[in-house]
Amino acid sequence: MSTDEYRRGTAVERERQGKQRPARGRYRGILPTIYAIGLVMFTVVSAYLGPEPAFAVYLVTHVFYAGLIHGDINSLREQGIEWGVSRHLWFGAAFTLPFVVPAYYLYSRRVIRRENESRGLTNE
């Protein structure tokens, strides 16, 4: 019996799976574009129509952002990246805070890069 049969953990599972692909966020690439469109819509609506329609735009765009972040985190978790409790915080913050999308974009880049380095892979 080899010593591998007694080892446990995610590193051993990765070795058993063989060749792996680099981790990538499913919706991460479109987040800056969607955020820019939402910011322009909010600015135009608030300038021309007033605060009530601007608040409606704010609510709709943030629900959409939260859905994209939720989907992106789920796709990363399916690829083996552990998020822990912070996934709930990112999702919840996307509903209310205005600058969560850029912060998530930067943070997820760091998480993906760290995971790919631990796998011995690079972002293509």
Assign 3-class secondary structure to 55-124. Answer: HHHHHHHHHHHHHHHHHHHHHHHHCCCCCCCHHHHHHHHHHHCCCHHHHHHHHHHHHHHHHHHHHCCCCC
Per-residue model confidence as pLDDT tens digits over 16-64: 555 678 888 899 999 999 999 999 999 999 999 999 999 999 999 999 9
Per-residue model confidence as pLDDT tens digits over 55-72: 999 999 999 999 999 999
What's the confidence (pLDDT) of residue 2?
52
Cα–Cα distance, 119 to 23 (Å, whole number): 9
Q: How big is the CA angle at 11 (ends 6 and 17), to the nearest 5 degrees?
A: 90
What's the confidence (pLDDT) of residue 84?
82
pTM, to two decimals: 0.78
Q: Where are the domains of the chain?
A: 51-116
